[in-house]
Each structure stands twice: as C-alpha cells, then as structure tokens.
Chains A and B, each alone.
Chain A
Amino acid sequence: MARVKYRFNTPAGKVFDAVNVIVLIGVGTIAILPFLYVLAGSFATEYELTTRPFFLWPNEFTTDAYASILSSSVFVRAFVTTIVVTGVGTAIQLVLTALMAYPLSKIDLPGRRTIMSLVVFTMVFSAGLIPTFLVVKQLGLLDTYWALILPAAINPFSLIIIKNFFQELPKELEESAKIDGANELRILRSVVMPLSKPVLATFALFYAVGIWNDYMSPLIYLNDTSKWTLQMFLRQVTAASSLTAEDLGNELPPPAQGIKFAVVMVATIPVLLAYPFLQKHFAKGMLIGSVKG
C-alpha cells in the first residue's frame, strides 16, 4: 500500500500519531487483560485469590484447580462430549455447505435463482425459536447431540460467500477436468476444494467456534444433564456460588474460586489454539468472499 509520506510531518500530526499509538496499545491491552488475569488466577492459591485483588503473576504457583476439575467425571464427560460434537459437527456443516455451494456456483443450473432467493429469504425472516424447537422435537432430536449440529447445519452467509468464491475460480480448470472424464463430484473434490482451502478453513473455524461456544442449543434441546456440554458446565460452575465437593464428584472440598478460573480457561484455550493457526486464512478468506464476490 503506497502511503503519502509528507502527510504526517506537521507537529500536530506527530502528536496525533503518538497519542494514537498509546490509545491503540491501551485498547489491545484491555482486549486481553481479563484473559491474562484469569490465566494467572487459575494457577494461584485460594488464599491469594481472596486476598489480592489483581495480579498477572501468582505468588505461589499451583495446579490444584486444574487437578480438581480434571478429577471430576462430570467435567471430563462434558469436555470430551464437546470435543467430539465440535469435530463431527464442523465436518458435517462444512461438507453440507460446500456440497450445496458448488452447484449454486454454476450459473447455468436451472432453478438456481429461485434457490438463492429462498436462501436469502431465510436470512431476513425466520419462524423463530418455538416453531424450530417443535420441528427438532418432532424429528426426535431432543436430548440428542444432533440437535446441537443439524438445526444450524448450513449458515446462509457462509453458503453465499463460499458460492461466490467457487464462482470466481477459473473455469478452464474445471473444463479440462471434465474433458479428462471427471464427473462433478470428482471435480469438486480434486479441483475446486483444493483451490478453496483458505475459504473452507475460514468457515471450518467459524463453524467449530460456533458449536464449541454454543450455549443456547444445549440449554433448549438437552434436558438430560448427563449430556451437557462444556459451556453448560462452565455456566453451572461460575453461576453457582455454593458449589459443593459432591457436585464435582470429589472427596476433597474444591478451591471454589480457583475452579471458576480454571474452567473459564479450559473453555477458552481450545478456541485460542485454533485462532492463530487459522487467523492468516480468515481475513483473506472473508475479504475474497465478500468484497470481491
């Protein structure tokens, strides 16, 4: 990006730049400070948590809180459940979206405009919570993990962006594959998908984060507490001020405050691990899809 050099040279401009740098460093700090506080707190002793109001480094380092939640069968089950549901759900959602986006990217497909209008219609108007709940109930999905995956299987925004991306791919590649005798499924798998990795990675991240972070679906669709996900467990732990040892399945009384810190960390860390890995893709993926599309 070519910048105009002399636009910054006035004294007022320099003052602005200095202030701007300070303000934005402050903003960046505020964005992660709560997280760093909880990270430090999750390794602190119960005594330190109740006596020191704020710290980013514990005086005395302990992993008691983590040991305590890891020994809770309720937590372990919620954690494993969430990982599996997120993995399976993301794969299903991404495949369904890509499979539908590909035919819609063919401008000669009959009925394409009608289907697109209907998809856009669902973005503007939805029947609402109760009718959707009744459909899920009628399909027999209540109290099953499918209820966390299927009702949100295709996000219309993602569908349109992926469709637009497919549409921009050079047609010659697909045509040559067709001449070589490949059918549409083969073209999609061997030509289109490999070329679309950044976009698909972006939406895989969004879908995965969406399922991982989802609180509303388990709240509505899962009555069976043994099927609870991590977000439900987190809510239970942090909202309950009077958490007892039995709740966590431990013999020893848990460090109540420390446990809250540790559970927040465990619910956050997997998302943060995925973030830098896919960050390079998502800005690019989003922009390719939306601005140029």
Chain B
Amino acid sequence: MATLIEAEAASGGADITQRPLNRRNVRETIVRYRWLLLLMLPGITYFVLFRFWPMYGAQIAWRDYIPFLGIEGSEWVGWKHFEDFFTNPDFPRLLGNTLILAALSLFIAFPLTIVMALLLNELRLNILKRTVQTLVYVPHFLSWTVVVSLTGLLFAIGNGPLWTGVNDLLGTDINFLTDPAWFRPLIVLQDVWKNTGWGTIIFLAALASVDQEQYEAAIIDGAGRWQRVWHITLPSIRSTIIVLLILQTGQILNTGFEQIYLMSNPLNRTVADVFDTYVYFVGIQQGSYSYATAVGLAKAIVGVILIFGTNWIAKRFNQQGIF
C-alpha cells in the first residue's frame, strides 16, 4: 500500500508539464480541461464535504459547542477540554489499554504475517499453495459482527466447543467472554484469525520479485536453507516490512472501533475501554461533542507524529521511508 505513496511522490516530482496558473490563462485552461474538471466535480465535492468540512468543525474542541448556537456561535474555551482529558482519572487506563492492544498486534500479529508469508513461499505444491491462500483470505471478508458472533458461539457457556475444550484442557470453569483476563487474548486471536492470511498478500508479492539467481549463487557458496532465508529472503523484503511497520505505527492508537466495541461488556470494561470507544461513549451517547472532539484530535495528532517519527527514524537508519 505504501508503495503507492512513493509512486505518487515520484510521479508528482516529474510533473513538469504543469504551467503556473495566472489570471490570463485561467479561462483558457478551464475551457481546455472542462470535461476533466467536470468529471472531478462530484469527487471534489465529496472531499470538501466529508473530509475537509469536519476539519473545520474540529475547532469545537476549543469551544463549548452547543448545537443550538452553531459552531461559530459557541464560546471559545481554549485548551480546557484537552486539559480535562489529560487530567481525567480514566486517561491512564485508556492509554494503557490502547497501547497494550497495539503492542500485541505489533509484536504478535505482524511477525506472524511475515512468518506465514515465508512458509507459504516455501510451499512447492502450487495447488496446495493456492488452496491454502484462498482459505486464509476468507476470514478477512467477514464482518466484525460475524467474527464476534462466531466467538460467542464457540465460547458459549455450556455448549460452545472451545469453551468445553479449553476448560477441559485447563481443568477450569472460565467464562472467556466476560473474564477481563481473557479479553486481550481473545482480541489478538480474532485479529490473527481475521487478518493474518490477508496480510500475507503484500509480502508474497514482494517475495515473488526476489531475484532467483541470488539463491542459486548462495547454494553454490554452500548456504543452507536458513542462511538463504536470513541473508537473501528477509533482506529482500526489508523495505516492504519497514513501510508496513511505519504505517502500522501510525495506526497504534486506532485500535479499531468495531472489534473492541462489540467484544466489550460491563464485566470487562476495565481492560476493554480504549480511545476509540471512549470517543463514541462520551461523544455520540452522552453528547459531550466538544470534549469527545478534543479526545479524537489528540489521538489523531499523536498518530500523525508517530507516522512521521517512525518514517524519520527509518530514513536515519538509511532505510527507505514512505515520504
């Protein structure tokens, strides 16, 4: 995915045919490009309405927004909402829950994707390779509602196969769906089940473009299988790994609303509350628009800083960044 940002930057840089616009040739330009401009109009309207207008509206984070008064009519309150959020007793818990879930995804789900791509790549039987790929892509297309419902059926008390199986194995009587200790493992399990297979697509594409002659040369030099993976395969897909890692880092605070919201219940709230669900609860449900906007903004800005930060670090280590 990130390669397209690079490609965009590259093609944008080569865009020398573009002439500077001035008053004299504006009319001429519009006439010449009238069809193209007309085609773009609905799309531009979309971006203005649903992507940029909200950015203008985000100023309510610094106001006490009252729907009756409108955005401009509501009073400026400075950084009050941000301060309220950072001094809120819930803040450390929300931050902790968010970061732990992000870290689990980064250190478990992400490496598993790479391992699975490597294993698939080593598969010689093409029919088997295609079959396994088809099967592991499928869960990605199921909704979180379905995944959470599946989890509910599998772990249902009394007759869920996994409830029975795991409890028999551990000799326990745990209700996995409400036990706070099992919230994070279940979230990771769902994440891995749903997305690992799909995540291999981009790595498999990178692996397919590795120069086969390098392997032949390495074999002649006496390199074993592990040495080849370590010295040729992994370095060859390093840039892909780094680009995806940067993108993933930018997403750290985005735990994904649907999965967490659907998996949370009154008994596991202590570990289930994250920034995304918090914004929903205080904003949409309780109507604290300004405060929830401030929380959302704080989160988004940290995300942007993380993206640029990781990118900067990657470049400093002489690796390819995405910007």
CA distance A137 to B202 in the complex (A): 38
Whether B132 contacts A28 by the Cβ 8 Å rule is: yes
B133 to chain A, nearest CB (A): 8
Whether B145 contacts A188 by the Cβ 8 Å rule is: no
Select from chain A the residue with minimum beta-carbon distance to B135: A28
CA distance A154 to B49 in the complex (A): 12
Which B residues are within 8 Å of any A CB, using their own CB?
A: 1, 3-5, 7-8, 11-12, 14-15, 17-19, 21, 29, 33, 35-37, 39-40, 42-44, 46-47, 49-55, 57-58, 60, 116, 119-120, 122-125, 128, 131-132, 134-139, 141-146, 148-150, 152-154, 156, 158-161, 164-165, 193, 197, 201-202, 205, 208-209, 212, 215-216, 219, 224-225, 228, 250, 257-258, 261-262, 276, 279-280, 283-284, 289, 292-293, 296-297, 299-301, 303-304, 307
A161 to chain B, nearest CB (A): 6
A264 at the interface (CB under 8 A from B): yes
B119 to chain A, nearest CB (A): 6
Whether B1 contacts A30 by the Cβ 8 Å rule is: no
Whether B122 contacts A215 by the Cβ 8 Å rule is: no
Whether B143 contacts A213 by the Cβ 8 Å rule is: yes
Chain A residues, Cβ within 8 Å of B202 = 290
Whether A116 contacts B8 by the Cβ 8 Å rule is: yes
A215-B36 CB under 8 A given contacts A49-B159, A132-B54: no
Give the A interface residue count (CB, 8 A).
Answer: 115
Sample of 5 more A-B contacts, CB < 8 Å, known A53-B164, A160-B8, A164-B4 = A102-B36, A113-B15, A120-B5, A157-B1, A257-B159
A128-B208 CB under 8 A given contacts A50-B158, A112-B18, A215-B144: no
Whether B138 contacts A272 by the Cβ 8 Å rule is: yes
Select from chain A the residue with minimum beta-carbon distance to B16: A107
Select from chain B the residue with minimum beta-carbon distance to A271: B141
A104 at the interface (CB under 8 A from B): yes
CA distance A220 to B46 in the complex (A): 20
Select from chain B the residue with minimum beta-carbon distance to A136: B50
Whether A53 contacts B124 by the Cβ 8 Å rule is: no
A179 at the interface (CB under 8 A from B): no
Q: Please provide the chain A residues from 248 to 272 with a CB less than 8 Å away from any CB of chain B in the complex.
A: 257, 260-261, 263-264, 267-268, 271-272
Q: Per-position contact with B for A112-123: 1 when CB-CB < 8 Å, else 0?
A: 110111111010
Chain B residues, Cβ within 8 Å of A215 = 143-145, 258, 262
Chain A residues, Cβ within 8 Å of B201 = 283, 286
Q: Please provide the chain A residues from 83 to 130 with a CB less than 8 Å away from any CB of chain B in the complex.
A: 96-97, 99-100, 102-104, 106-113, 115-120, 122, 124-130
Whether B36 contacts A118 by the Cβ 8 Å rule is: no
Whether B122 contacts A20 by the Cβ 8 Å rule is: yes
Chain A residues, Cβ within 8 Å of B304 = 124-125
Q: Chain A contact residues: over half helix, strand or loop, or mixed?
A: helix
Whether A28 contacts B43 by the Cβ 8 Å rule is: no
A110-B33 CB under 8 A given contacts A50-B158, A126-B300: yes
Whether B228 contacts A128 by the Cβ 8 Å rule is: no
Whether B132 contacts A103 by the Cβ 8 Å rule is: no
Whether A151 contacts B50 by the Cβ 8 Å rule is: yes
Q: Which of B40, B49, B164, B289 gathers most chain A CB within 10 Å?
A: B40
Chain B residues, Cβ within 8 Å of A154 = 43, 46-47
Whether B135 contacts A32 by the Cβ 8 Å rule is: yes
Chain A residues, Cβ within 8 Å of B15 = 107, 112-113
A216 at the interface (CB under 8 A from B): yes
Q: Which 8 A-B pairs have the closest CB atoms?
A: A100-B43, A128-B296, A213-B143, A184-B35, A127-B54, A54-B161, A131-B54, A103-B36
> In the complex, which of the residues B4, B145, B279 contacts A231, with contact meaning CB atoms closer than 8 Å?
B145
Chain A residues, Cβ within 8 Å of B307 = 124
Q: Per-position contact with B for A1-14: 1 when CB-CB < 8 Å, else 0?
A: 11110111010110
Whether B50 contacts A107 by the Cβ 8 Å rule is: no
A131-B55 CB under 8 A given contacts A120-B8, A261-B153, A267-B145: yes
Whether B57 contacts A20 by the Cβ 8 Å rule is: no
Whether B284 contacts A129 by the Cβ 8 Å rule is: yes
Select from chain B the residue with minimum beta-carbon distance to A123: B5
A153 at the interface (CB under 8 A from B): yes
Whether B142 contacts A271 by the Cβ 8 Å rule is: yes
A35-B54 CB under 8 A given contacts A53-B165, A185-B35: no
- 6 example contacts (A-B, Cβ-Cβ < 8 A) are as follows A34-B150, A53-B165, A100-B43, A130-B283, A134-B57, A291-B209
CA distance A176 to B33 in the complex (A): 18
Chain A residues, Cβ within 8 Å of B50 = 132, 135, 150-151, 153
Whether B58 contacts A128 by the Cβ 8 Å rule is: yes
A66 at the interface (CB under 8 A from B): no
Whether B122 contacts A135 by the Cβ 8 Å rule is: no
Chain B residues, Cβ within 8 Å of A257 = 156, 159
A200 at the interface (CB under 8 A from B): no
CA distance A219 to B209 in the complex (A): 43
Q: Per-position contact with B for A207-234: 1 when CB-CB < 8 Å, else 0?
A: 0010011111001100000000001001
Whether A4 contacts B40 by the Cβ 8 Å rule is: no
Whether A111 contacts B21 by the Cβ 8 Å rule is: yes
A5 to chain B, nearest CB (A): 10
Chain A residues, Cβ within 8 Å of B159 = 49-53, 257
A103-B40 CB under 8 A given contacts A31-B136, A134-B57: yes
Whether B136 contacts A130 by the Cβ 8 Å rule is: no
A144 at the interface (CB under 8 A from B): no
CA distance A161 to B165 in the complex (A): 45
